[in-house]
Amino acid sequence: MHTLILSFGTRGDIQPYAALAGALARAGHDVTLAVPEGFADLVPHDGPGRVTHRPAGNEMLRLLREVMPRLRGGRDALTTLGIMRSAMRELLAECRDAAREARPDVVVHHPKTLAGPHVAEALGVPSVLSLPLPYFTPTAAHPLPFFGVASFGPWGNRATYAFTRAAGVMYGRMIDDLRREVGLGRSRRLADPTRDPDGSAAHVLYPYSRHVLPVPADYPDTAHVTGYWFLDGRPDGGAGEAPVTLRDFLAAGDPPVYVGFGSMGFGRGADERRAAVLAAVRAHRVRAVVATGWGGIAPGPSADDDVLVIEGAPHDWLFERVRAVVHHGGAGSTAAGLRAGRPTLVVPFLGDQPFWGGRVHAIGAGPRPLPAARLTRDLTDRLGDLLGTPSYATRTAATGAAIRAEDGLGEAVSVLERIVARA
């Protein structure tokens, strides 16, 4: 089996799909992994199957890292919009070219790449949508995750999933251009992403744990909640990516608290968040590792010897070595913290982050999420709750053990093998 995997975004959007590529290769399958060059270090090479990296989305990633943090107003945003659209067209073309070269048996695609179902249709192979949150399959159990922890009743919850058709409207012209280039007709603007071109149910892979969010009773058998996909198996366990200063800091005292918000805020408010974080850890007299990310927290050394400020480090390695974690609630950060069995405080900024923060609290793994707008006012109190409530550590330890017992990657490989066998 040859699988084409298309993904784009920050490291949290890429790492699970690099892990899937490695699992497929270990099962003897070949993989083409189309992701930005900046994540080439994540591409596994541990066969017997072969993993080929095709760079895709380099310009879009550059914009996210370098341009977005500098935006300061509407005029900047309008200027950037044209550049972003050009970069998106480039990403679509790169995905198209990767598909033409790979000639895969199945296409697994993150929705941010847009091209996946269209290149699969052109090739006449199965298309498998994948996202590490329950975003696409309508259910009465909860609304679309972007509504946070709200509930609108069974009918209302299912109705919210109509928003998943928005990409066809927003990017319809680009998608139609791509479809014309690969020999297809125009798309339907409000097409259901969970339906294949022939109207049958499309398969969706959801790499998250049922121990964090139970599988709804009304999910169809084409919605596969596999368990998380972790990028394990590196010879050094990830330590080689950790700065020497971090390893020395960890060895010098008690396990610290981790605080980091990735690229959230795009630089705006980063100084205020830094001040709030430093004040909170000082108030509770705890050691802390503060990760600045791409603008979530302002950089610069701390004057306090018990606080280490770094740009970042691999969460799967670091979180096993800390006392508790405070982060923005991205799917990858949430998975890493819970797998490590660490009490978690989520400070959500946008998107699905309030949803995951709500799930962390619902399973007893941490306090109620602290909205980013209230961070500077309430972080000290909420950190005290995180560190001072023993039940959070007990519950998270049990959840971590359950997550570690899952084989999300093995399940995903089996699902793809069955899909291709039936195609």
Q: Which residue(s) pair with 310 in the sheet?
A: 291
Mean pLDDT across the stretch 335-363? 95
Is a pLDDT exceeding 80 seen at residue 268?
A: no
State residue 235's pLDDT score.
44
Q: Which residue matches tokens 């590529």?
A: 21
State residue 407's pLDDT score.
96
pLDDT band at 79 (very low <50, low <70, confident <90, very high): low
pLDDT band at 122 (very low <50, low <70, confident <90, very high): very high
pLDDT band at 236 (very low <50, low <70, confident <90, very high): very low
> Which has the closest alpha carbon to 239: 332, 314, 335?
314
CA–CA dist 327, 9 (Å, integer)? 18
Is a pLDDT exceeding 60 seen at residue 234?
A: no
pLDDT digits (tens, 9 = 90+) for 9-60: 878 889 999 999 999 999 999 999 999 998 888 888 878 999 999 999 888 8
- For residue 33, give both structure tokens: 């992994």
Is a pLDDT exceeding 90 seen at residue 242?
A: no
Mean pLDDT across the stretch 190-218? 92
CA–CA dist 210, 217 (Å, integer)? 12
pLDDT digits (tens, 9 = 90+) for 294-346: 777 888 888 889 999 998 888 889 999 999 999 999 999 999 999 999 999 99
Print burial letters for 129-146: b (CB count within 10 Å at least 16), e (below 16).
Answer: bbbbbbbbbbbbbbbbbb
Please, how many CA atoms are within 13 Å of residue 108, restricted to the half-sphere of its CB?
A: 31
pLDDT digits (tens, 9 = 90+) for 151-175: 999 999 999 999 888 776 778 888 9
Q: Which residue matches tokens 């609108």?
A: 152
Arithmetic mean of pLDDT over the chain: 90
Whether the CB-CB separation of 138 and 161 falls below 8 Å is answered with yes
- For residue 38, give both structure tokens: 């900046």
CA–CA dist 4, 99 (Å, integer)? 7
Kindly state the percentage of the chain with pLDDT values over 70: 92
State residue 83's pLDDT score.
66
Higher confidence at residue 1 or residue 316? 1
CA–CA dist 21, 269 (Å, integer)? 37
pLDDT band at 351 (very low <50, low <70, confident <90, very high): confident
> Which has the closest alpha carbon to 131: 61, 41, 223, 52?
223
Phi and psi angles of residue 34, each rounded to the nearest 5 degrees, phi first: -100, 100
CATH 3.40.50.2000 in the chain, residues?
Answer: 2-228+406-422, 239-404
Residue 199's region, left for phi above 0, alpha for psi from -120 to 50, else beta, is left
CATH number of the domain at 239-404, out of 1.20.810.10, 3.40.50.360, 3.40.50.300, 3.40.50.2000? 3.40.50.2000
State residue 266's pLDDT score.
57
Whether the CB-CB separation of 52 and 34 falls below 8 Å is answered with no
CATH number of the domain at 2-228+406-422, out of 3.40.50.10890, 1.20.58.2030, 1.10.1060.10, 3.40.50.2000? 3.40.50.2000
State residue 233's pLDDT score.
60
Is a pLDDT exceeding 90 seen at residue 228?
A: yes
At 34 the three-state DSSP class reads strand
CA–CA dist 293, 296 (Å, integer)? 6
422 burial (CB, 10 Å; 0-12 / 13-18 / 19+) is exposed
Give this prediction's pTM: 0.91
> Which of 240-244, 257-261, 304-308 is predicted with the least confidence, judged by mean pLDDT?
240-244
State residue 10's pLDDT score.
79
> Which has the closest alpha carbon to 291: 351, 252, 231, 245?
245
**Type of residue at 333:** S
Instruction: Report the interhelical angle of 331-339 vs 11-26 (nearest 10°).
Output: 60
pLDDT digits (tens, 9 = 90+) for 382-414: 999 999 999 999 999 999 999 999 999 999 999
CA–CA dist 63, 136 (Å, integer)? 27
At 208 the three-state DSSP class reads coil
- For residue 117, give both structure tokens: 């179902």
Q: Which residue(s) pair with 342 in the sheet?
A: none
Q: Which residue matches tokens 């996202």?
A: 131
CA–CA dist 415, 222 (Å, integer)? 10
Is a pLDDT exceeding 80 seen at residue 115?
A: yes
